[in-house]
Chain A
Amino acid sequence: MPGRHAGLSDVDARLDRTLRNDLGELAAVARDVRAWLQQAGVAEPLSHAVDLALEELVGNTIRYGYDDGDVHRIRVQLELTADELRLTLEDDGRPFDPTRAPEPPRPRSLSEAPPGGRGIPMVRRLFHDMRYQRAPGANRLALSLPRRG
């Protein structure tokens, strides 16, 4: 069922990585993910979408998601089926639902343009389905894309 991340029996390949809230670790995991997707024969636009989601969403969690200076764990899971690519991100940071993050206003000119706030909209435009769930003490975001077309 597209976008539901439901049954496991249809999954052809799965990658499960856990990283600390550290941008250096994120860069290493993103490299692993790119290599895994390439080896699995995933089309470049899909691989690019996953790459962007890790950079923007996990990067945001690492930068802004925690109120303490402690070490936290962030889980990145990828699943490939014949029809779909599924990415699930889980963290124990502050509650944050990126599906409800407001779109930045369209600036009328270069001089009025705010410097940031574009990462989440860029990801939202790439993924066909994006669902957020706040579990006890954890954010869970499930994203998916069709493998073809």
Chain B
Amino acid sequence: MELQVIEQTAAFTHVALVGRLDTPGVDRVETRFNAALVNPRRHAIVDLSAVEFLSSMGVRMLLAAAKALGRSGTRLVLVAPRPLVEGALRHSAIDELIPVRADLAAAREACLGATPA
């Protein structure tokens, strides 16, 4: 599991996760993921297009970051999951709590629905 920081602007941090978001993957990436994303002034966009597998440990990591951002009025949005990962988001009901969008433009739009504190 790798974390790639794609872009950081005044309003957004855009990262991509690459590989398996399972227990070993979360162990490897979680500290850097939180350090990169959990910021009280920026929304977070997480590209999942290169994530091959998502388990409940991965869901827990995404949810914890979304909750931390939500407390400061910013938002985490997930982008472009593969079909099996999208299924895992649906089966864990996480898609009811964290916006999931097909592309970056839609993700930015979803972020702008939230007002930073």
Contact = CB atoms under 8 A, between A and B. Distances in A.
Interface residues of A, number: 24
Interface string B37-74: 00000000000000001011101100110110011000
A48 B53 contact: yes
B70 A115 contact: no
Given A27-B24, A56-B56, A111 B84 contact: no
Given A56-B56, A118-B59, A113 B23 contact: no
B81 to A, nearest CB: 13
A103 to B, nearest CB: 10
Contacts of A115: 60, 63-64
A111 to B, nearest CB: 6
Interface in B79-98: 84, 88, 91-94, 96-98
Contacts of B59: 118, 122
Mostly, the A contact residues are helix
A23 interface: yes
Contact of B23 (A59, A118, A121, A125): A59
Given A52-B55, A110-B66, A113-B63, A44 B84 contact: yes
Given A23-B23, A110-B98, A126 B91 contact: yes
11 contacts: A27-B23, A45-B84, A52-B88, A56-B56, A59-B55, A113-B63, A116-B60, A121-B92, A122-B56, A122-B88, A122-B91
Interface of A: 23, 27, 44-45, 48, 51-52, 55-56, 59, 106-107, 109-111, 113, 115-116, 118-119, 121-122, 125-126
